[in-house]
Amino acid sequence: MRRIDLFCIISLSCTAAFILLLMITKGDAAGWLVMEGNFDYSFTDHFRHIAFASDRTHFYFNTYDATFPAFAYLLYYILVMIDPPEMPWDVNGWMDARDFKFNILVYIMLTIVLVIIFKLAVDIILKEDAPFKTTLLTAALLLSAPFMSGAIERGNISFLTAVMVLIALYLKDSDNAVHREAALILIAMAAGLKLYPAVAGFIYIKEKRYREGVRLLIYGLIVFFVPFAFVGGIPALIRYIQVLFFFENQGYCSWTNIRNFLLSISQVMGQYENSAYFVKYFKIAENLYLILCLITLFKVRERWKQALYTCGIMALYVPYSYRYVSVYMMVPLIMYLREEKKDQPLIYCILFALTFTVPFYGYFTGAKADLFIFLPIYIMMIYSLIKDWFFAPKAKEDVSASLP
């Protein structure tokens, strides 16, 4: 069985089972699946940042929740500009922004455009597979918990960022110089939206493409610093750095990143009252994970594994992230399906499928849905690290295998 077939069978079967569960529970299971157990915050990450951007030169000083670089808020400000002057919200009135006239329709239209771009990218990258299969794959991803009850339901820009990284990693190996340069610009822009996609630049260092790496650094610095001139200048930049340091010291119980995963375990073990003491050790754990992923990135040869360790950082490292960061794992998934080999363990495909589905089985445990979304990612990263460090093929075997 092809890996794409196995993925679609597992993913879509679990999602279909959840739909049946919704019918049986009369919708109760929806409350279990949705982020934070309610629908009060639907699309908040889209409209909250639009509300921030409506005060273009002061939003970093109005709230600590403006966590994106200035480049992202310039894009949000474009959406502010299409609204009439009588817009009724202030910088904290994201619900008013969401309910104002045609704004929710604009979000739907933008999401549709992004889905079309995503589908075209999947078709091009997996051109060896039939359109029917790539359509099933795209449907399985979009209907999964990370997307539908994560990035899309929250309106988080991580979906756009993930698509940009996916296209960039595909274009970077093109024979066309324009495509390779577009890849650099896409990575720089993705980092200008969410910061941590900048780790993709380590792939260029690993491949000793230093000239491209230097251009990527230049693009990244331009995209990061220049937009601050339009949103408050140097004081805004200083304030933004302060915001980042503020969130760097935060922690809360969730299963969505290493620090908070360990905090959740401490809560299960009845030690949460000591969490302030534990956090400093959990910070060490997350940074060890970051360093180990970067070192292993330089060790592996497969391109999909490079994407795995890059996106594994993006999905599990950032301490103030939520469920939507799991969408980044679709980048190594699609690269994995593209580089399918007979000796690839099926466990990767199964774990990807268990990530990108709706984990109906978790409903019966009483545990939060995030645990069942992120546990396959943790298992995948641990398995891959062990395999690449202790069971990797010897160098001589790799060389001989590559000879004609």
Show the tokens assigned to 349: 């495909």
Residue 367 falls in which region: left (phi positive, over 0), alpha (psi -120 to 50) or beta: beta
- Which residue in this structure is represented by tokens 């009724």? 88
Q: What is the pLDDT of residues 338-347, one digit of tens each?
A: 987 766 789 9
C-beta atoms surrounding 173 within 10 Å: 11
The closest alpha carbon to 59, from 242, 191, 232, belongs to 232
Count CA atoms closer than 13 A to 78's CA, side-chain side: 8
DSSP-based helix, strand, coil % in the chain, nearest 5? 75, 0, 25
Mean pLDDT of 41-62: 91
% of the chain beyond a pLDDT of 90:
71
In a domain, 10, yes or no: yes
In a domain, 236, yes or no: yes
Residue 397 has pLDDT above 60, yes or no: no
On whether the CB atoms of residues 167 and 186 are closer than 8 A, the answer is yes
In a domain, 254, yes or no: yes
Domain that holds residue 257: 3-34+43-391
CA 154 to chain centre: 13
Q: What is the pLDDT of residues 347-394, one digit of tens each?
A: 999 999 999 999 999 999 989 999 999 999 999 999 999 999 998 766
Show the tokens assigned to 141: 């991803």
**Mean pLDDT rounded to a whole number for the chain:** 90
In a domain, 402, yes or no: no
Q: How many domains does the chain have?
A: 1
137 vs 131: CA distance, rounded Å:
10
Q: What is the pLDDT of residues 173-193, one digit of tens each?
A: 999 999 999 999 999 999 999
On whether the CB atoms of residues 327 and 158 are closer than 8 A, the answer is yes
Show the tokens assigned to 330: 């679709």
In a domain, 404, yes or no: no
Helices then strands, each counted (H, E), the chain? 22, 0
Show the tokens assigned to 374: 């992120």
In a domain, 401, yes or no: no
Q: What is the pLDDT of residues 309-337, one digit of tens each?
A: 999 999 999 887 889 999 999 999 999 99
Residue 249 has pLDDT above 80, yes or no: no
pLDDT at 404: 33
Mean pLDDT of 132-148: 96
Angle, helices 70-81 vs 44-53, to 10°: value is 90
Q: What is the pLDDT of residues 250-300, one digit of tens each?
A: 666 778 888 888 888 887 777 766 666 677 788 888 999 999 999 999 999
The closest alpha carbon to 304, from 353, 351, 257, 340, belongs to 340
